[in-house]
Structure 1
Amino acid sequence: MDCRVVVEAAVPVYDVSTADEAVRIAISKTGEMLNPDLNYVEISMGSRDCPHCADELEPAFIAADEGLVALELEMTVFNVERDEHAARIARKEIGKRLKNIPLEVLEIEVLEEDEEEAEAAETSETDSDGEDDDEVLPEFEELIDE
C-alpha cells in the first residue's frame, strides 16, 4: 500500500523582521536541507490556531528578530504495511536531513490504486495480440502516458 504523509516542522529562522520574510527564509532553508536527496518532498506553510479562540494565526512567530515557522512537509511513501509504518519512514527520512528540527506527523492518507487501472494492467499483461514480443517501445510509451 502507498501512503501520503504530512509532517509538521518547526523551523527556526534568524534576523527576520516580518512573518512573511520568516516564512520565505524557512521554506528556502528547508529546501536546501532536503535537496537533492528528498527533492520530491513538497514544502508549504503550516497553520496555527489560537488555543483560546477559533482564529487562525500566521505560520510564523517572531520575537527579537528571531522566528519559529510552522511548515508542512508532504511526501508519498510506497510499499508499506500499515499507515504507522509510513509515518515512521517519513519522519526518519525527513528527520535525517532536518537536524535539530522537531517533527510531528499531522496526516496519513492511504492512496488507493484505481481499480479500473489495476484491471487494465492485469488484462494487458494476459492478452496476446499476436504482435512480435521483441517490440518493447509501444509498451514503454503506454507506461509513460499513464
Structure 2
Amino acid sequence: MPYAVEQAVEARLVASAPRMETVPTTLRYDVKDPFAVSVDFPPQATLEGVEVSWAFARELLAAGVSAPAGMGDVRIRPFGYERTVLEFHAREGIAMVHIHTAELRHFLEKTEALVPAGHEQSVLDLDRSVAELLRDGR
C-alpha cells in the first residue's frame, strides 16, 4: 500500500508582466502528516533561487477549489471554471500561481484513496510519535 502521493503539475506564476511564466511544481501528500499537503516550487520559481515548499491543510485545498478559502498565509480560490489560484503570503510579498483545477481535484482524489477526509486521526500513531519526541529530547 502506498503511503504518499506525489503529483507533478504545471503552475503559472502571476506577475506584473503580461505573460505568465509556467514552472513545474509538485504536489505532495504523506500519511505521516495526514492533515497536510505541500506544494514544492523549483529554484527558478523563487526570488532566492532555492527550492521552496509550502505546507497547509488538505482541507483548505479541498475547499479552495470550489470557493474562496483561507485567511492566513495560504489562500485558495477558483479562477473561472478551469483554474484555481493559490496565494502564498510571506513578509517578502505575495506569490500567486494558477493551477488547473482538474489536476488539483485528481490529486485530492488520490489523497482521499489513501486517507479519507475525516479519518486522518486513524492513521496517526500517537504512541510512536510521543516515543520519538522523548527519544529526540535526550
Q: TM-score range by the shorter chain?
A: under 0.3
TM-score, length-normalised on structure 2?
Answer: 0.27
TM-score, length-normalised on structure 1?
Answer: 0.27
Identify the structure with the greater strand proportion. 2
Identify the structure with the greater helix proportion. 1
Higher RCO (CA < 8 A, seq sep 6+) = 1
